[in-house]
C-alpha cells in the first residue's frame, strides 16, 4: 500500500482530505507500526484521501515540555508549525494522544491552528456517517474486552464515548476497569516517564494497572495510545499473562473484525 506524502501531493497539485500525523512511536516502534498500518488500511478502504509528512514530520515536542525543557519544545513546535502552515494544513488526525493534545491545545499559542482529531473520534465519525461498516458477529463476538482510558484522550480532553461506541460495534462483552473514565489510572508512561527510570516507590504504575485488567476477567485490552500499549504489554509480561491477555489498538480490532 503506497501512502502519499504531502510533498508528493503538493507537487501534483492535490490536497488531501486529512493529514495523518504518524508520531515518533508510530514511525519507529515495531509494535506501533502495526497500528499505523492498520489505521492507514482503514482510511484507504473507506476512500479517505490522506497524506503524511514523512521525513518532514518532527516530534511534536511533547516529551520535552513534560520533562521541563520548554526551549526544546518551542523549537520543535515552531519547526513543525512552519511546515504545516506552508502546506496549508487544516485538518489533522493522529493515533497518538500525546501528539493529539499538543497539536490541538498547545500549538495555537505558537501560531499553529488546526482542526485536530484523535483517531478514535475520526473512526467514530466514519461509523456514524456510514462510511465505515462493522458487521456484528465477527472475531470478537462474546469475548470479554476491557478498555483503558489514556490520560490525554480521557481526563485531559474528555473523550470517553467515541472509543466505547467503536467497541460496542464489535459484538464483544465490554467490561469496565475498576478505575475508568474520569477516574482512570495512568499507564505509567505520561509526563515523559516513558523515557526515564521510575522514582522509588512500592509498585510500578503499569503493574497496578495490569492487576486491574486481570481482575476484570477480560482477555483483550483495547488501547488508543502507543505509550499505554507498551506499558500494558509490559505489565502483562511481568504477570506472565502475555499469551492469555492481548493488547490491541482500536484500529487493529476494527481491522481484525473485518478480516475475521
End-to-end CA distance of the chain: 20
Predicted pLDDT at 146: 97
Does residue 103 share a domain with residue 148?
A: no
Predicted pLDDT at 257: 84
Q: Are 56 and 85 in contact (CB under 8 A)?
A: no
Q: Is 201 part of a structural domain of the chain?
A: yes
Q: Is 244 part of a structural domain of the chain?
A: yes
Predicted pLDDT at 195: 73
CATH of the domain at 156: 3.40.50
124, 153, 181 - which closes a domain: 124
Collapsing DSSP states into helix, strand and coil, what is residue 96? coil
Predicted pLDDT at 4: 96
| Strand order from edge to edge, sheet including 18-21 | 50-51, 18-21, 91-94, 115-118
Q: Are 258 and 138 in contact (CB under 8 A)?
A: yes
Collapsing DSSP states into helix, strand and coil, what is residue 43? helix
d(C-alpha 229, C-alpha 178), whole Å = 18
Does residue 67 share a domain with residue 38?
A: yes
Does residue 85 share a domain with residue 112?
A: yes
Residue 91's DSSP bridge partners are 115
66, 96, 124 - which closes a domain: 124
d(C-alpha 26, C-alpha 23), whole Å = 5
d(C-alpha 103, C-alpha 252), whole Å = 24
Collapsing DSSP states into helix, strand and coil, what is residue 17? coil
Report the domain count for the chain: 2
Does residue 198 share a domain with residue 179?
A: yes
Collapsing DSSP states into helix, strand and coil, what is residue 155? coil
Q: Is 1 part of a structural domain of the chain?
A: no
Does residue 196 share a domain with residue 144?
A: yes
Does residue 192 share a domain with residue 167?
A: yes
Low-confidence stretches of the chain (pLDDT beneath 70) = 136-138, 259-260
d(C-alpha 16, C-alpha 208), whole Å = 42
Predicted pLDDT at 137: 63
Nearest to 23 by CA among 194, 213, 225, 162: 225
Does residue 212 share a domain with residue 140?
A: yes
Q: Which grid coordinates belong to 32?
A: 506501533
- Domain range for 70 is 6-124
Q: Is 14 part of a structural domain of the chain?
A: yes
Q: Is 232 part of a structural domain of the chain?
A: yes
d(C-alpha 186, C-alpha 198), whole Å = 14
Q: What is the pLDDT of residues 209-251, one digit of tens each?
A: 999 999 999 999 999 999 999 999 999 999 999 999 999 999 9
Does residue 119 share a domain with residue 10?
A: yes
Q: Are 76 and 7 in contact (CB under 8 A)?
A: no
Does residue 71 share a domain with residue 148?
A: no
d(C-alpha 149, C-alpha 142), whole Å = 22
Q: Which grid coordinates belong to 114?
A: 488546526
d(C-alpha 142, C-alpha 125), whole Å = 25
Predicted pLDDT at 172: 85
Q: Are 244 and 170 in contact (CB under 8 A)?
A: no
Q: Is 95 part of a structural domain of the chain?
A: yes
Collapsing DSSP states into helix, strand and coil, what is residue 135? coil
Does residue 77 share a domain with residue 101?
A: yes
Q: Is 210 part of a structural domain of the chain?
A: yes
124, 151, 170 - which closes a domain: 124
Does residue 158 share a domain with residue 103?
A: no
Does residue 99 share a domain with residue 158?
A: no
Amino acid at each position: 500500500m503506497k501512502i502519499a506524502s504531502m510533498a508528493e501531493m503538493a507537487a501534483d497539485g492535490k490536497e488531501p482530505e486529512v493529514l495523518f500525523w504518524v508520531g515518533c512511536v508510530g514511525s519507529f516502534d515495531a509494535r506501533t507500526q502495526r497500528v499505523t498500518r492498520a489505521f492507514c488500511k482503514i482510511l484507504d478502504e473507506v476512500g479517505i484521501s490522506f497524506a503524511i509528512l514523512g521525513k518532514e514530520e518532527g516530534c511534536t515536542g511533547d516529551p520535552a515540555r513534560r520533562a521541563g525543557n520548554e526551549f526544546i519544545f518551542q523549537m520543535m513546535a515552531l519547526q513543525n508549525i512552519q511546515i504545516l502552515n506552508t502546506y496549508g494544513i487544516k485538518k489533522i488526525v493522529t493515533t497518538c494522544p500525546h501528539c493529539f493534545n499538543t497539536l490541538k491545545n498547545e500549538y495555537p499559542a505558537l501560531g499553529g491552528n488546526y482542526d485536530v482529531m484523535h483517531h478514535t473520534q475520526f473512526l467514530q465519525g466514519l461509523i456514524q456517517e456510514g462510511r465505515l461498516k462493522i458487521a456484528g458477529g465477527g472475531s470478537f463476538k462474546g469475548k470479554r474486552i476491557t478498555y483503558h482510558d489514556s490520560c490525554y484522550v480521557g481526563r485531559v480532553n474528555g473523550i470517553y464515548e467515541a472509543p466505547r461506541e467503536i467497541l460496542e460495534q464489535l459484538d464483544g462483552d465490554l467490561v469496565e476497569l475498576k478505575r475508568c473514565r474520569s477516574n482512570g489510572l495512568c499507564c505509567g508512561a505520561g509526563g515523559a516517564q516513558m523515557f526515564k527510570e521510575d522514582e522509588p516507590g512500592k509498585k510500578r504504575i503499569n503493574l497496578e494497572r495490569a492487576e486491574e485488567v486481570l481482575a476484570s476477567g477480560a482477555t483483550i485490552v483495547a488501547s488508543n495510545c502507543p505509550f499505554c500499549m507498551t506499558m500494558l504489554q509490559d505489565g502483562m509480561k511481568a504477570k506472565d499473562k502475555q499469551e492469555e491477555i492481548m493488547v490491541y489498538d482500536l484500529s487493529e480490532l476494527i481491522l481484525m473484525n473485518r478480516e475475521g
